[in-house]
Amino acid sequence: MTDNAAPHGTEPTLEALAAAGFDVDALSDEQQDVVRALTPDELALLVDIRGRLDAAAPEVQAHADVAGGALF
C-alpha cells in the first residue's frame, strides 16, 4: 500500500470488492491503487460479473465433473 493510501478497511472500493468475494489482500500495492481509481460504474461492473460467475460456478463445475472437463 502506498504511504498516502488509507488503511484497508476504510476504503469503500476495496471493501466492496472484498464483500463480493474478491481476495483484495492478494493484490499488489500497485493493483490496489488501480482498484482505488475505479469509477463507480467500473466497480459495479466488476461486482456484477463476479456475481454472475459465482452463480454459474456450480453448474459449470457439475458439467466438468460429468464430462471430465472435456467440454470446458
Tens of each residue's pLDDT in the chain, 72 residues = 444 444 444 588 999 999 998 999 999 999 999 999 999 999 999 999 999 988 888 765 655 555 555 444
pLDDT score of 3: 44
- pLDDT of 28: 94
Looking at residue 59, its pLDDT comes to 63
Residue type, 16: A
E-strand spans in 1-72? none
Calpha distance 45→63 (Å, rounded): 26
The pTM score is 0.61
C-alpha cell at position 10: 476504510
